Amino acid sequence: MVARKLFLLSSILLSMSLFSACSNEKGSSVSQDNSVNIGISQISSHPALDLAREGFIEALNSKGFKDGENLNIEIKNAEGDIATSQMISSSFISNSKDLIFAIGTPAAQSAFNSTQDIPIIVTAVTDAVESGLVKSKDKSGTNVAGTSDAVPIDKQLKLIQEVVKDVKTIGVLYNTSEVNSEIQINNLKELSKKNGIKIIAKGVTSVNDISQGLDSILDNIDVLYTPADNMIASSMALIASKAVDKKIPVIGAEEAHVEGGALITEGINYKKLGFEAGLMAVEVLEGKDIKELSIKTLEDTELVINEDTQKNLSINIDEDIMKRAKVIKGGE
């Protein structure tokens, strides 16, 4: 269906180029029926996911797909509510979208549970196999493909050890309903055990539990690690503030955490993550079988430090780390 739409669209555009007549109405010669219709389902609002969405749209634009011309994009945000995410997916199916772009593991699962026919490109999904979205990372085997924000836990742990000398106990705060967070914590526990480091993980079920959850662990840890978790990311200002009050450094899984007040991260760039997903969407729109595509990860990471948080903690960071890092201000 998508390939036929693109063929018809190309024919129309070619015909238009043969005439010198001009129109003041943008795209008036291309009917809406011949445009590609994409639904974007975002699980919640926070900088990392917003950047992924921006990158996705930029990739489409770079390949000639322009919203309002030959492309219709509908963006919906569940604001962290799973039931709303499911309703968004159902509405996209009812409206016969040609492709769904799902941002975040819960949004991806909602879309996949709603349809195995419409192609779904995902991003900010930690483990698509464990989440039941694809059969293999190398070859999807389902109607899902895209990019993973799997955090390089080994790099994060190394960074923690470099920033907090002789660290003995790492605290982790996470949303118990996000499978991606469970995966990250299990990986961290496995690596930490090999290094003789204890992990104290505190699960919360809503943003209302975060303050109390922090209070229960901050006095018993050397450093707090915040995983790539949608609920945690949306509450970084609170988390960073309470941690600074206790002089506990926060190591974030992504740059958005540092922008929110965490001390430092070595994570991936979410705009690049979304852009790569957008290029995969173009492949599907141009006729590529999504079942043949993969779940891609970004190899490059970026070191980011919050200078204001560093000053508030009165913590010294090795000069070689400072030289490699992008330094930002603000947040907490």
pLDDT at 64: 96
Tokens, residue 292: 């043949």
pLDDT at 113: 97
DSSP letter at 205 equals S
Q: How far apart are CA 273 and CA 48, in angstroms?
A: 10
The pTM (predicted TM-score) of the whole model is: 0.79
- Calculate the dihedral angle through the C-alpha atoms of 126, 130, 135, 136, rounding to the nearest 10 degrees: 50
Residue 8's H or E segment, with its range, is: helix 2-17
Q: Within 10 Å of residue 139's Cβ, how many Cβ atoms?
A: 14
Check if the beta carbon of residue 79 is closer than 8 Å to that of residue 24: no
Burial of 198 (0-12, 13-18, 19+ CB in 10 A): middle
What are the pLDDT tens digits along the chain (332 aa)?
555 454 444 444 433 333 333 333 333 223 345 799 999 999 999 889 999 999 999 999 999 999 999 999 999 999 989 999 999 999 999 999 999 999 999 999 999 999 999 999 999 999 999 999 999 999 999 999 999 998 889 999 999 999 999 999 999 999 998 888 999 999 999 999 999 999 999 999 999 999 999 999 999 999 999 999 989 998 999 999 999 999 999 999 999 899 999 999 998 899 999 999 999 999 999 999 999 999 999 888 899 999 999 999 999 999 999 999 999 987 54
Closest CA to 75 of 113, 119, 42: 42
Beta bridge partners of 41: 76, 102
Domain annotation for the chain: domains and CATH numbers? 36-149+269-297 (3.40.50.2300), 153-268+301-328 (3.40.50.2300)
pLDDT at 215: 97
| Cα-to-chain-centroid distance, residue 90 | 22
Q: How far apart are CA 21 and CA 57, in angstroms?
A: 30
Burial of 168 (0-12, 13-18, 19+ CB in 10 A): exposed
